Structure 1
Amino acid sequence: MDYVSAIVPPLVMAILFTCVIVTIVKHQGGAQAREDAAVDAAFSKAEAARQAAGDGDR
């Protein structure tokens, strides 16, 4: 039974570490998507304003 008590702490730490990494990766992907959407919206707004200003001059 000594081998069981020797392997349990490293095994538990490995499982917890894997869970932490998975959580970080999942949340990072979500934040990136929101940032990309915000940048796309800003570019769209700027492009619409540029076109509106250009159309008004003609």
Structure 2
Amino acid sequence: MDYVSALVPPVVMAVLFTWLIVTIVKNQGGANKAKEDAAVDAALARADGTRQATGETPTA
């Protein structure tokens, strides 16, 4: 029975990892993708506008 107790943790971790990856892939895109993209674009534009207004140069 030692082999069962040795195999259970890796099997459980593999199942949970697979579930996590499937969940992430399923949630890519969808109905809110355009809204999320617009929010990111707006945040980047705000940051860029602030940088230009203060005269900072990009570091990256």
TM-score by length of 2: 0.51
Structure of greater relative contact order (alpha carbons < 8 Å, 6+ residues apart): 2
Q: Which structure has greater helix proportion?
A: 1
Paired residue for 1:29? 29
Q: CA-atom RMSD, angstroms? A: 2.6
Runs of 4+ in 1 over 2 A off after TM superposition: none
**Larger-gyration structure (1/2):** 1
**Structure 1 gaps, min length 5:** 40-58
Task: Give % identity.
Answer: 69
Question: Unmatched 5+ residue regions in structure 2?
Answer: 39-60
How many correspondences in the alignment? 37
TM-score, normalized by length of structure 1?
A: 0.52
